[in-house]
């Protein structure tokens, strides 16, 4: 028997690799038998997907033979072994057999750069290898044919999404079969389990309740949490005020199922991950709960319970979506809505998963559009979702209905009678002189719409109180300084902290930090953002002062940022609604105002509405497989900034920065993957995102690390107190 390799480093035969796939196939079938898949066909494509690798040119590539000619991607050759006669005898339809061929041919997305004649020639050559190939587990599940009937497959063929019921069902079957084959194959290649069982979360939640009861014998799940527990098998949209225990509610709804917990901001995700792994799932976290965003590896390095030996495997499990619970950003999960080549494994996974969407009101119009479309696909494919939010824009419900998404809503909102905020509307621009007399042995939070406005107010307050603690936080700090500031504002923002302080901030604190200041002074942005900002003051305590929130509405002018990144229509509607908000403001009133201002009727004609509907139509306009993954990543993230290191920071830390670049420049034979990941993580500590408009106002020097990576040194000054300081006066208007 001839030995044919599937991989060369380390050497692994086609049979050995396929054994690993079948092991993962059995794991998936055992843990999730309810998946809507034909299990025989899934086993069949696992058996056949790599048989094309026995061709001479592939074997030459892995150092196991010789040959001359043009190598055809092995998936296109593996289709020669589909036992179509057996499938016909078993009663499979023409469409179902096409799905098998397509799943095998395209299990790796490769650009077709060969002719049909070249493909046919290579398939004919496989007959020689087939005679010397033996794999007992194939039995009668492989049948070599040198000619493939075009009714089943030809290289240009694709299975597209179709509005027609039969076509739509065929597309679903293809996504499921190809997507699950990908998951099983990826796991086998990575040497990990395709899925790890969620047999712990329900018990962990019971332990959490028992912990509450140790402090208070009468403690029980609240009405929101009980509702979610009772509706575990349904798509749910619930509105619940801040402090109602939405995290616990979401985890109770998830139960012992595979699930994804999504939030809008990385800082919020990091906080939830830390809390879940330290308070709820306190054992075997690396097999149970993952964190998925663009900085996953660096976050894993920060958690001391993750030993160095297991971080790589933990990271791989997380990236491969093998963990029972994953806390992640939207872009890591919902980019499948573009149906790019290779998206299928995500949607196939979501077809048997439950997805928790927290704080939906925080998403920009384009991300909200992707979210709506993503939920419609999850619903159609059999997955489940719950949306939990403190305030729900009315347009969201209309869009879910328009896209035929099935969900339930409780008759009542989960809101208490307590009053946490008493508001005074100030009809001027935000003013440090107005704020000054309020600072005396207390903790004040000031939130501005733009960085330039925040810097101005900070400088003025710093001058007024030179011996007091006055701090500034926004997005234009390098990562390590931003992290320090987040830790510091978190400590200062605890209600039992006796130290007086003033923090001046931008939108970065709206939903990412669990802080509770005594007084809030804020510019009006939009009503939704305003209520998020209010949540940073008297977060979990009843009102015991005359006024704790002062909102500057701009007076005769508009506030900073309006007309740029703050929708002018929504701002003006918010300003009008605010006229009725002087005085005590209940949580129910907040929710009603958001529903009204963000209703479809109120939004029509606004920039927000136009961007939202355009994004929906834009994504729907693409045919399946029209885009590649790289294009989708840039569209989905709406990249409008440059990652760079300020020149001042570069010069002050040149030796350390250069040392990390040198590690990244070395070959994989010289430096391990782990060392490179650590170097990349450490290098990122000196970086920040500079908006395009600002980047164009100065210069950037590009330093090459290696063939694929560069680092930009941005010509500007920098202060750890103020952030970026441009060397020439210009207009800054970034929201964050």
Looking at residue 308, what is its pLDDT? 52
Q: Model confidence over 566-617: pLDDT tens digits?
A: 999 999 999 999 988 889 999 889 888 998 899 999 999 899 999 999 999 9
| pLDDT band at 564; cut points 50, 70, 90 | confident
Q: Do the beta carbons of residue 21 and residue 185 sit within 8 Å?
A: yes
How distant, in Å, are the alpha carbons of 218, 257, 264, 712 from that of 349?
40, 12, 21, 38
Instruction: Specify the pLDDT at position 514.
Output: 80
Question: 516-557 pLDDT, tens per residue?
Answer: 999 999 999 999 889 989 989 998 788 899 999 999 999 999
Confidence band of 736 (pLDDT split at 50, 70, 90): very low
pLDDT at 735: 42
pLDDT of residue 110: 83
DSSP reduced 3-state for 463? helix
pLDDT for the residue numbered 733: 43
Element (H, E) at 502: strand 501-505
Checking if the pLDDT of 630 tops 80, the result is no
pLDDT digits (tens, 9 = 90+) for 220-275: 999 999 999 999 999 999 999 877 889 999 999 999 999 999 988 787 888 899 99
pLDDT at site 306: 55
pLDDT per residue as tens digits for the range 99-126:
999 999 999 988 888 999 999 999 999 9
Structure tokens that stand for 235 in this block: 């798509």
Answer yes or no: are the C-beta atoms of 410 and 227 closer than 8 Å. Answer: yes
pLDDT above 90: residue 694: no
Q: How confident is the model at residue 489 (pLDDT cuts 50, 70, 90)?
A: very high
Q: Of 161, 141, 159, give the one whose Cα is nearest residue 101.
A: 159
Confidence at 2, pLDDT banded by 50, 70, 90: confident
Mean pLDDT for 45-69 is: 91
Structure tokens at 364: 């920009």
DSSP sequence for 653-668: THHHHHHHHHHHHS-T
pLDDT for residue 669 is more than 90: no
Specify the pLDDT at position 731.
Answer: 43
SS3 category, 631: helix
Alpha helix positions (H), 505-558: 527-534
pLDDT category of residue 165 using cuts at 50, 70 and 90: low
Q: What is the pLDDT averaged over residues 413-427?
A: 91
pLDDT over threshold 60, residue 350: yes
CA dihedral (121, 127, 132, 138) positive or negative: positive
Of residues 242 and 141, more confidently modeled: 141
Q: What is the pLDDT of residue 729?
A: 45
Strands 5-8 and 11-13: antiparallel
Contact 176, 183 (CB under 8 A): no
Cβ neighbours of 569 (radius 10 Å)? 17
Quote the CA–CA distance of 618 and 366 in Å, as a whole number: 10
Length in residues, the chain? 736
Contacts of 52 (CB under 8 A, 6+ apart): 58, 72, 74, 75, 76, 77, 78, 79, 80, 81, 126
Provide mean pLDDT across the span 301-305.
70
Question: Cβ distance 169 to 111 under 8 Å?
Answer: no
pTM > 0.85? yes
* Residue 634 pLDDT greater than 80, yes or no: no
* Tokens coding 188: 């086998």
pLDDT band at 637 (very low <50, low <70, confident <90, very high): low
pLDDT the model gives residue 58: 94
Mean pLDDT computed over every residue of the chain: 91
Give CA torsion, residues 177, 182, 187, 189, to 10 deg. 130
Token output for 365: 């119009």
SS3 string of 136-182? Answer: HHHCCCCCCCCCCCCCCCCCCCCCCCCCCHHHHHHHHHHHHHHHHHH
What percentage of the chain has pLDDT greater than the value 90? 71
Could you tell me which of 440, 615, 456, 426 has the C-alpha nearest to residue 521?
A: 426
**In this model, does residue 639 exceed pLDDT 80?**
no
Give the pLDDT confidence of 458-482 residue by residue, as tens digits: 999 999 999 999 999 999 999 999 9
């Amino acid at each position: 028997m001839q030995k044919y390799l599937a991989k060369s480093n380390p050497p692994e035969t086609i049979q050995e690799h396929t054994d690993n796939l079948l092991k993962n196939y059995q794991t998936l079938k055992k843990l999730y038998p309810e998946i809507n898949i034909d299990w025989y066909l899934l086993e069949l494509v696992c058996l056949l997907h790599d048989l094309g690798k026995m061709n001479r040119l592939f074997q030459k590539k892995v150092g196991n033979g010789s040959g001359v000619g043009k190598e055809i991607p092995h998936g296109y050759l593996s289709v020669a072994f589909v036992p179509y006669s057996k499938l016909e005898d078993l009663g499979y339809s023409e469409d179902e057999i096409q799905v098998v061929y397509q799943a095998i041919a395209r299990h790796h997305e490769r650009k077709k750069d060969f002719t049909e004649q070249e493909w046919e020639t290579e398939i004919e050559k496989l007959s020689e290898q087939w005679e010397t190939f033996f794999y007992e587990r194939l039995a009668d599940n492989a049948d070599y044919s040198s000619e493939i009937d075009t009714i089943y497959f030809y290289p240009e063929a694709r299975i597209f999404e179709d509005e027609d019921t039969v076509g739509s069902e065929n597309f679903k079957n293809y996504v499921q079969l190809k997507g699950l084959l990908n998951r099983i194959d990826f796991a086998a290649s990575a040497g990990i389990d395709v899925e790890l069982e969620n047999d712990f979360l329900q018990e962990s939640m019971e332990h959490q309740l028992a912990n509450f009861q140790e402090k208070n014998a009468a403690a029980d799940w609240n009405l929101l949490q009980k509702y979610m527990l009772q509706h575990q098998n349904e798509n749910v949209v619930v509105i619940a005020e801040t402090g109602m225990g939405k995290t616990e509610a979401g985890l109770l709804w998830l139960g012992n199922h595979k699930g994804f917990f999504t939030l809008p901001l990385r800082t919020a995700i990091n906080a939830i991950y830390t809390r879940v792994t330290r308070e709820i799932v306190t054992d075997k976290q690396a097999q149970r709960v993952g964190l998925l965003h663009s900085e996953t590896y660096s976050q894993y390095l920060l958690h001391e319970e993750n030993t160095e030996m297991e971080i790589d495997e933990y990271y791989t499990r997380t990236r491969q979506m093998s963990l029972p619970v994953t806390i992640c950003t939207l872009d890591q999960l919902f980019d499948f809505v573009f149906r790019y080549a290779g998206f299928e494994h995500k949607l196939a996974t979501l077809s048997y998963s439950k997805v928790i969407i927290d704080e939906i009101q925080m998403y920009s119009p384009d991300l909200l559009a992707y979210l709506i479309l993503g939920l419609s696909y999850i619903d159609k494919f059999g997955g489940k979702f719950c949306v939990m939010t403190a305030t729900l824009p009315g347009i969201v419900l209309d869009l879910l209905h328009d896209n035929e998404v099935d969900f339930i809503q409780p008759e009542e909102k989960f809101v208490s009678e307590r009053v946490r905020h008493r508001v005074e509307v100030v009809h001027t621009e935000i003013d440090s002189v107005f704020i000054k007399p309020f600072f005396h042995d207390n903790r004040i939070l000031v939130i501005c719409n733009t960085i330039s406005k925040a810097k101005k107010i900070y400088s003025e307050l710093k001058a007024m109180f030179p011996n007091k603690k006055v701090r500034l936080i926004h997005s234009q700090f390098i990562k390590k300084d931003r992290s320090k500031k987040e830790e510091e504002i978190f400590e200062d923002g605890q209600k039992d902290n006796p130290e007086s302080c003033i923090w001046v901030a931008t939108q970065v604190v709206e939903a990412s930090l669990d802080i509770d200041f005594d007084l809030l002074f804020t510019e009006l942005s939009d009503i939704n953002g305003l209520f998020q900002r209010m949540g940073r003051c008297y977060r979990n305590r009843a009102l015991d002062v005359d006024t704790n929130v002062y909102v500057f509405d701009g007076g005769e002018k508009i506030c900073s940022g309006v007309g740029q990144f703050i929708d002018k229509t929504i701002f003006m509607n918010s300003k009008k609604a605010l006229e009725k908000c002087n005085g005590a403001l209940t949580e129910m009133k907040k929710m009603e105002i958001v529903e009204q201002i963000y209703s479809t009727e109120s939004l029509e004609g606004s920039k927000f509405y136009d961007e939202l509907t355009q994004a929906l139509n834009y994504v729907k306009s693409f045919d399946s497989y029209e885009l590649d993954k790289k294009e989708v990543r840039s569209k989905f993230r709406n990249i409008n900034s440059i990652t760079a290191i300020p020149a001042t920071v570069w010069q002050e830390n040149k030796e350390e920065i250069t040392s990390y670049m040198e590690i990244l420049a070395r070959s994989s034979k010289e430096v391990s993957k782990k060392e490179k990941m650590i170097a990349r993580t450490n290098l990122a500590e000196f970086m920040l995102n500079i908006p395009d408009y600002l980047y164009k106002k100065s210069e950037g020097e590009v330093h090459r690390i290696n063939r694929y990576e560069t680092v930009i040194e941005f010509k500007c000054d920098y202060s750890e107190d103020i952030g970026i300081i441009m060397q020439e006066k210009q207009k800054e208007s970034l929201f964050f």
